Amino acid sequence: MMNSSSILSIFLLFNLIISSFSSDSDSIYEVLQSHGLPIGIIPKGVKEFSLDDKGRFEVHLDQACDAKFENTVHYDRNVTGVLSYGQIQGLSGISAQELFLWFPVKGIRVDIPSSGIIYFDVGVIYKRFSLSLFETPPECKISDHDKLFKDFEEGQALATSVSKSLPGKLRYELDQDYTKRAEA
């Protein structure tokens, strides 16, 4: 017959096994919170996330996109960095717009959570933001640059398919007419 200490030991071992499995499946947002960072620094649309034992992480988004805070922040499709308590270093895949210029964000840190301030390292300076801007993961919209490129690709594909569907003689005549206009 099992005594109560054996039952307690089995229960604790079971909980330990369950918690080790659940930590492998933590979301990026849970990992950020457990490292003293706000969940809103990574947008919605995370397809895949990995974290190794040295703190290196990779986040794969559905698409490259822009989110609006005080400034526009651009997220590449893949974001990587090294996570430690209160900061991310060696960051790639995020840039912040200031006026008309884009600066790569190289790191993010929260010195004292009660200060309500988060810092973005953009190389020359640290850009300060209110932590409250990053309380929830933002909606991320396809960037204007990516949308323009996607529209161009679709338009080019449409023109190619239309030109291939025209009979050879008509296509030749249209090409000749276009060449004459271009020379004039």
Query: Domains of the chain: which residue ranges?
Result: 27-134, 144-183
User: Class assignment of domain 27-134?
Assistant: mainly beta
Q: What share of the chain is helix, strand, coil (3-state, %, to 5)?
A: 40, 30, 25
Residue 66 pLDDT more than 60?
yes
Looking at residue 154, what is its pLDDT?
62
| Tokens 């990516």, located at residue | 146
Average pLDDT, whole number, for the chain?
A: 78
Structure-block tokens of residue 32: 């950020």
3-class SS of residue 51: strand
Neighbour tally for 37: CB within 10 Å? 25
Residue 61, pLDDT above cutoff 90: yes
d(CA 46, CA 17): 27
Residue 14: the pLDDT is 39
Residues 6 or more apart whose Cβ sits within 8 Å of residue 84: 35, 55
Q: Which residue has the tokens 């529209």?
A: 151
Three-state secondary-structure class, residue 53? coil
